Amino acid sequence: MADLKRFLVPWIDQVKPYDTGDLVLAWSRPELKRMMINENPIPPSEKVVEAIAQAARMGNRYPDNGTRLRAKIARRYDLSPDNVFLGHGSSEVIDMIMRLFITPGDEVVLPNPTFSLYGVRAKALGGNVVPVDMTPDLEYDLPAMLRAVTPRTKVIIVCSPNNPTGGFIPDNDLIKIVELGIPTMIDEAYLEYHPEYETKAPLIRRYNHVIVAHTFSKAYGMAGIRVGYCLGDERLIQYFRKMQNPWNVSLLSLAAAEAAWDEEDELKRKTAYNNAGVDYIVKELAKIPGVKPYYSHGNYVLIDATDAGVIGKEIVDYVFEKDGIMLKAFAPLRGRPGFFRIALGTHEENALCVQSINRFFEDRKKGKKK
Ligand SMILES: Cc1ncc(COP(=O)(O)O)c(C=O)c1O
């Protein structure tokens, strides 16, 4: 047996893979309600499915680098296809950014809490993650973020709207971060749910170190199909091409994304459905004393039940055991242990989830009286 340690990158033992245990469980038990990961509950349209089937007939051929899709995306942002990089989901964009900028010991500054994959991919490259707690209101803490920057900071992550807190970074704060001149990823994975908010894509014309990322996984509802993209200065995108795997997006995925891109009404339908669900969850859970749902511009709602004397995981375990609903508990934040997140499901699933959480509190009251 070879001594692998002699050959492996020395920081590998510090890398914890992204936890996909919930997905393994959900796929093995289709009756469970998948409200633990931010998916879209509405499946792809017939047009998208047909486009995939048609592309499959050419499945003996290698794809190009998405010439047609990049042109369509570029047109909508009034950019050139040379400003567009396509990824195997925006997770690949995140990974590419780390591969381009991070060497062992370099630092990635990001908000806490946020999407955990940024940290996972930074660590995979030997990078150090510098999480900056959000304010008690769960807003970006700009002074703290600026203080966290050191000469070793190679990447700053701005997720807007942020997963899981649901809010945007104010423009003034964003510009102060961008003005530092450090490669900055603005992750707009959820922006399509709120087209009334403008994309920060125009910043790439003024700042060659800004990368704006999007995905087809959320509002477009194609998480399993795996297409994302980022926008950046032409020269920066050329560096992405040097680092990328060729054929990173399959012919089937490209066809699906092109079809979805053209179906604007379908996107509107999906976002309206989601946003009605967010309103419902926030309104219903705010009625429970001590429970604070944070209004979200994404397809999830973060809830803090600390003031009701509850730990997030207690609720998550209860709704799973009683009703087969999978949610996600969060680590304590600023000493508050009550955080958990609901990823929006169908309206029926949302109602079931609200019922189940209400029952949790009723049972608890009864238990206390006994
Ligand atoms: C903020 C954010 N960015 C990116 C992603 C990754 O999405 P995908 O790789 O499916 O495009 C997610 C997924 O949850 C996310 O929450």
Q: How is residue 15 annotated by DSSP?
A: -
β-partners of residue 107 are 128, 153
Measure 238 CA to ligand 1 centroid, in angstroms. Answer: 23
pLDDT at 367: 83
pLDDT at 365: 86
pLDDT at 251: 98
> Mean pLDDT of successive 10-residue segments in the chain (370 residues)?
95 93 97 98 98 98 96 98 98 98 98 97 97 96 98 98 98 98 98 97 98 98 98 98 97 98 97 98 98 98 98 98 97 95 98 98 84
Q: Are 296 and 305 contacting, i.e. CB atoms less than 8 angstroms apart?
A: no
**DSSP letters along 138-202, please?**
S---HHHHHHH--TTEEEEEEESSPTTT-PPPPHHHHHHHHTT-S-EEEE-TTGGG-TTSPPSTT
| Ligand 1 lined by 91 (C-beta under 6 Å) | yes
Measure 367 CA to ligand 1 centroid, in angstroms. Answer: 40
pLDDT at 295: 97
Q: Which atom of ligand 1 is nearest to the CA of 217?
A: 10
Contacts of residue 70, defined as CB under 8 A and 6 or more positions apart, other chains included, come to 81, 84, 86, 229
**DSSP letters along 203-261, please?**
HHHH-TTEEEEEESSSTT--TTT--EEEE--HHHHHHHHHHSPTT-S-HHHHHHHHHHH
Ligand 1, pocket-test mutation among 39, 85, 86, 91, most atoms within 8 A of CB: 91
Q: Are 228 and 217 contacting, i.e. CB atoms less than 8 angstroms apart?
A: yes
Measure 195 CA to ligand 1 centroid, in angstroms. Answer: 18
State pTM to two decimals.
0.97
| Ligand 1 lined by 233 (C-beta under 6 Å) | no
| Ligand 1 lined by 90 (C-beta under 6 Å) | yes
β-partners of residue 66 are none
Residue nearest to atom 3 of ligand 1 (CA): 189
Q: Which atom of ligand 1 is nearest to the CA of 94?
A: 4
| Ligand 1 lined by 217 (C-beta under 6 Å) | yes
pLDDT at 347: 98
Q: Which atom of ligand 1 is nearest to the CA of 114?
A: 1
What tokens were used for 135? 């304010």
Q: Which atom of ligand 1 is nearest to the CA of 159?
A: 1
pLDDT at 200: 98
| Ligand 1 lined by 160 (C-beta under 6 Å) | no
Q: Is the dihedral of CA 308, 312, 313, 318 positive or negative?
A: positive
pLDDT at 368: 74
Report how far residue 106's alpha carbon sits from residue 128's, in angstroms, rounded to the nearest whole number: 6
| Ligand 1 lined by 253 (C-beta under 6 Å) | no
